[in-house]
Amino acid sequence: MVSSDTARLGIIRRSKAPQAPPIIRYRDVRPVVTGFLSDDSRRVNPLTSAEQMFQQRAEDAAESALRQDDARNSIEVLHSIQAMTNQISPFTFRPGPQAQPKLNLGGVEVSVRADLFVRTPIRGVEHAGAAVLRLTQDDADTDAARSKRRDMGLYVATLVRLHVDQNLQPNVPVSNRLCMSIDVQHGELFQAPDANTRRMNDLESACRMISAIWTAL
């Protein structure tokens, strides 16, 4: 949604002929962060233990350069999530299920996996939502980079809202503010906007375009 037309075509081409990555980035730190957020006491001991493990991996000459780099980045994730304590304190998190249906949007099956379920009372009534953890590192700090990250965060939060409505269907009302993208590396929490029709239409239009290009490739 925030890439150029040329970049989008490249992404679609790579998706149609995917190559197995040498490692899955942040695979080992993601469940640690999920466990920390799901713990109502937010105890830091598991984060400390995980940091020690990643530090050993980063310094282990027997590990590949990619694994060492991933371990160093994972430590940054652990530090970043601790710095977000005030932002996440109003919410109750629980781990999302491992198996989740894909979101059908504009004729395309979109993989949206909620890392966490989110609950909190709103005006005395329990409401629900879900959250996706975004762990990818991006050090750019220009106005354009910040604007792009914000757009991406809001689009991801919008996808989460659509995923909750279509596939997760909690037994309490769903709130946009509880459908969120947590940009851990930058310490930002993006919630699906209440006025969200344009973004939903943008996502559906993009999926229709992807479907047409996919067929033509």
pLDDT tens-place string over residues 168-207 = 989 999 999 999 999 999 999 999 998 888 888 888 888 8
> Distance between CA 80 and CA 29 in Å, rounded?
12
Half-sphere exposure of 15 (CA within 13 A, CB side): 16
Q: What is the mean pLDDT of residues 4-29?
A: 66
> Distance between CA 166 and CA 157 in Å, rounded?
14
pLDDT score, position 2: 52
Cα-Cα-Cα-Cα dihedral of 53, 56, 62, 66, to 10°?
70
pLDDT band at 145 (very low <50, low <70, confident <90, very high): confident
- Encoding tokens for residue 111? 């993989």
pLDDT score, position 144: 84
Number of domains composing the chain: 1
- Tens digits of residue pLDDT in 51-93: 999 999 999 999 999 999 999 999 999 999 999 999 999 999 9
> Distance between CA 36 and CA 135 in Å, rounded?
15
Domain span at residue 61 reads 5-216
DSSP bridge partners of 92: 119
- Encoding tokens for residue 51? 């940091």
Provide the 8-state DSSP code for 167. I
Q: Is the dihedral of CA 170, 176, 181, 186 positive or negative?
A: negative
pLDDT at 125 over 90: yes
**Helix or strand (DSSP H, E) at 180:** strand 174-183
pLDDT score, position 65: 95
C-alpha angle 75-23-162 in degrees, rounded to nearest 5: 80
203 contacts: CB under 8 Å, gap ≥ 6:
1, 105, 106, 155, 158, 159, 162
Q: Is the dihedral of CA 210, 212, 213, 217 positive or negative?
A: positive
Provide the 8-state DSSP code for 189. E
pLDDT band at 17 (very low <50, low <70, confident <90, very high): low
Q: What is the mean pLDDT of residues 100-120?
A: 92
The model's pTM:
0.84
* Greater pLDDT, 46 or 203: 46
